[in-house]
Structure 1
């Protein structure tokens, strides 16, 4: 499953978004219990990713904030590339991680570490 960093730490102005992503996390954990040992269920919680959606959000902000402003909020001082999130997803699905189920993996450049 894919949720968001907002599932593990709230964000201003988007309570419904945070609640729905939090529900995905809870669903992941419950489903992992229900489907074990036959099926593994994990959740990835990415932060901002360089996608057309983020580009639209920046455009809609009309200069209120920029990509540099967004990146500055992260300890790694940048946002994720889509491939970085995909790599984590593929890793979770790999047989080498066959003992992982019910896990919630944040991929957020350190944003939720503090």
Structure 2
């Protein structure tokens, strides 16, 4: 495969880092965006060398996003893959949620993908059917949870943003939403107390496949969505969850 450019927000740690590694393995030059964790960005740079460049960026800042996109387009041309993975999660009960907690989560999880896609889409349209946007969603976009009104609302909005963009950017750019279920990350292990045998057993009982998924399986799904095998797929959600949520 000739060298191609891929932009991955939140692309230096957790699932995002795994997605960056996979795209690099597929021959892309990856521009991996991070917000604060420079140590994780440095580790990824050390691992992948010149296959990746890491850039610090607040995806919720439209002016910073526009300047970032201009630099990428000047240096590399239109990206063939844009992965909107960056996100924030600030839990709290609705009646006591500070306005700033609402804004921060919506700005990162919903406005960020809007800004990034808007900045890159005009150039991506020129690739004439060889470009793909993948938004990383969440199962809470469909089934809500307590103390997550901001996060759930942002991810529900991202699902519909995906569909609207798929309509408006077709046929040149495909836009899909990739949704992780219980994927083995540090956050998931902490939130669901998987180190506790009882909590882990209760969690696994909800998953028909009987196990927690791996970040590599998310990368497998991403590889499919951005590849030729998915060239007739747009505006869809792909849930990688072992059958836990059959929606």
Which sections of structure 1, spanning at least 5 residues, go unmatched? none
Q: How does 1:36-47 map to 2 (within 5 A)?
A: 36-47=170-181
1:15 corresponds to: 149
1:98 corresponds to: 231
**Residue 72 in structure 1 maps to residue 205 in structure 2:** yes
**Greater relative contact order (Cα 8 A, min sep 6): structure 1 or 2?**
1
Q: Any idea what SS the aligned residue of 1:41 has?
A: strand
1:3 corresponds to: 137
Number of equivalent positions: 112
For normalisation by structure 2, the TM-score amounts to 0.42
Counterpart CA distance in 2 for 1:110 and 1:62 is 22
Say what the alpha-carbon RMSD is for the aligned residues.
2.2
1:113 corresponds to: 246
Q: After superposing the two structures, state which structure 1 stretch, 68-77 or 98-107, moved more.
A: 68-77
Counterpart CA distance in 2 for 1:103 and 1:62 is 34
Q: After superposing the two structures, state which structure 1 stretch, 4-13 or 36-45, moved more.
A: 4-13
For normalisation by structure 1, the TM-score amounts to 0.84
2:222 corresponds to: 89
Q: Measured at CA, do residues 86 and 62 of structure 1 come closer, stay the same or move farther in structure 2, by a change above 3 Å? A: closer
Aligned with residue 24 of structure 1, among 158, 163, 173: 158
Once the two structures are TM-superposed, the CA of residue 107 in structure 1 deviates from its matched residue by 1.2
Higher share of residues assigned strand: 2
Give the structure with higher Rg (CA): 2
- The CA deviation string for residues 37-69 of structure 1, in whole angstroms up to 9 with x for no partner, is 11100001111110111123245x995x63333
Which sections of structure 2, spanning at least 5 residues, go unmatched? 1-134
CA contact (8 A) 2:162 2:177 kept: yes
